[in-house]
A = this chain, B = another copy of it.
């Protein structure tokens, strides 16, 4: 029974540090580029060619020598001989010399000799340039500075440059870069497999009819959605009984299959808090069983046959918060993420808040931006037992331990949860 009371409290940072010690990234796997969207890149991507690898025209128009058109204006256009037509995807054949221009398309290589490109809209063709454009001329109606509308070689990316570091989530911009450098297959970290158990004899399965005094298990699905939103693969396990031996057997059975185990419930001071009993008899190592946070103070963690088990509080709000603060960074670290912890922002409190707390408080919050300022307020009723307002939260509001009240407009720290 000594584990129920008199526990040693540690900070959230200390708890995370204790967990990180046992995290290693999952092995990698190679998937097709479209299948890599949303996954975490498992190796550094270096540029094996410059981008662009030729002087690239940014517009449709005429490649010219800027010195030839320095005096051009609508009333006194400069007339140049059109020596060539350069569709994108082709290579210029001629060099642009004094008095010459080359018709060029967006994305095409600028020919030697030319140092600027004049947009088509600032020109007039003097005769329809048919395929053989020999003899065609163009009027340039505007002076355009040297280097205009040309991206120089390596203007975007230099040869050898690190373009995407490993541990980056692959979004649209990363997808474009991977395609550019020829990665039709991409090495990503395997999704960590996370087994999710709920405890509590009040729990019905989702399929079951309602019964007096009972509720359906919602934590497992909430946690599974959190796991998947953060790149993990969730395994929703059958509900655990109140029998420590059965719980031990159920956890040990799934251990070899998974990278992480999450439980909700059974960690508190109640007579039926089965995880506490399990921790009192199992052959693993208890890492902590009390964290300086509200909700979720009795959140516990263990190392069990070399796998981490994070035992979250059973209240829906505490379970949600515990996941965000302790499980999410672990999953992200397993995915090779270089900054697994959620960035802390400062926001203005939108309503007064005066509930004192002996531990730092993490309140599910809703942000809004108004006139460039970030405001935050608690999302609905903020009690750890309340499930329905979780959907309205997009952040956690952090308030330090202590009893002093907060006024509207006070600066507070927030952690986004989306």
Query: What residues of chain A have their CB less than 8 Å away from a CB belonging to chain B?
Result: 33-34, 37-38, 49, 51-54, 56, 58, 60, 85, 87-91, 103, 105-109, 120-121, 151, 155-157, 163-164, 170-184, 200-203, 206-210, 212-226, 228-229, 234, 236, 268-272, 314-316, 320, 345-348, 369-374, 381, 383-393, 411, 418
Best-surrounded residue of A58, A202, A225, A387 (most CB of chain B within 10 A): A225
Best-surrounded residue of A33, A38, A90, A372 (most CB of chain B within 10 A): A372
For this chain, the copies found in one complex come to 2
Contact A212 B271 (CB under 8 A): no
- Assuming A202-B88, A346-B369, is B220 touching A388 (CB within 8 A)? no
Contact B217 A179 (CB under 8 A): yes
Contact B60 A268 (CB under 8 A): yes
Best-surrounded residue of A53, A175, A214, A316 (most CB of chain B within 10 A): A175
Query: Please, which residue of chain B has its CB at the minimum distance from the CB of A392?
Result: B173
Give the Cβ gap from A342 to chain B, nearest Cβ, in Å.
13
Query: Please, which residue of chain B has its CB at the minimum distance from the CB of A272?
Result: B87
Contact A178 B221 (CB under 8 A): yes
User: In the assembled complex, which residues on chain B have CB atoms less than 8 Å from the CB atom of A229?
Assistant: 37-38, 171-172
**Top 6 A-B residue pairs of the complex, sorted by shortest distance between their CB atoms:** A173-B391, A89-B202, A173-B390, A88-B202, A176-B222, A89-B201
- Assuming A216-B180, A269-B121, is B38 touching A228 (CB within 8 A)? yes
Contact B177 A391 (CB under 8 A): yes
- Assuming A37-B224, A234-B34, is B391 touching A212 (CB within 8 A)? no
Give the Cβ gap from A221 to chain B, nearest Cβ, in Å.
4
